[in-house]
Amino acid sequence: MYKKIFAASAVLATLVGCGSTTVQNPVDYVTYRDQPLVKQVENGMTRQQVLTIGGEPSSTVQRKVSPGTCNNYVLNKDGHQQVYHVSFNSDGRVVNKGFMTCEQREQNERAM
């Protein structure tokens, strides 16, 4: 019993320590890991490379905390939808990506 509690606490502590005020659900990654945006997009890629991989985003917003833009996408699998964002710096290079909207990412950056 105590081993399970300890293991769960260790996982939670690891997730909290990742530097984001909104903890992303690891189940999202497991569920959507084979989606091209999740699997292929890497930090430093250009906006055009991301568009080639993921297609047109649901929306694009101007970043407020840091110069640049952010693309919102909606991933679909087995009838379920999940938001995903890809953030670009002022040079049009990927700096962040993850299972939240651009607006949620901005809110997290303001909180840091």
Query: 0.85 cut: is pTM over it?
Result: no
Delimit the domains of the chain by residue range.
22-111
Q: For 22-111, CATH number?
A: 3.30.1450.10
DSSP conformation letters of the chain:
-HHHHHHHHHHHHHHHTTS-SSPPPHHHHHHHTTSHHHHH--TT-BHHHHHHHH-S-SEEEE-SSSSSEEEEEEEEETTEEEEEEEEE-TTSBEEEEESS-HHHHHHHHHH-
**pLDDT 10s digits, 74-98:** 999 999 999 999 999 999 999 999 9
**pLDDT 10s digits, 28-78:** 888 999 999 999 999 999 999 999 999 999 999 999 988 999 999 999 999
pLDDT level of residue 109 (50, 70, 90 thresholds): confident
Say which residue, 25 or 56, is predicted with more confidence. 56
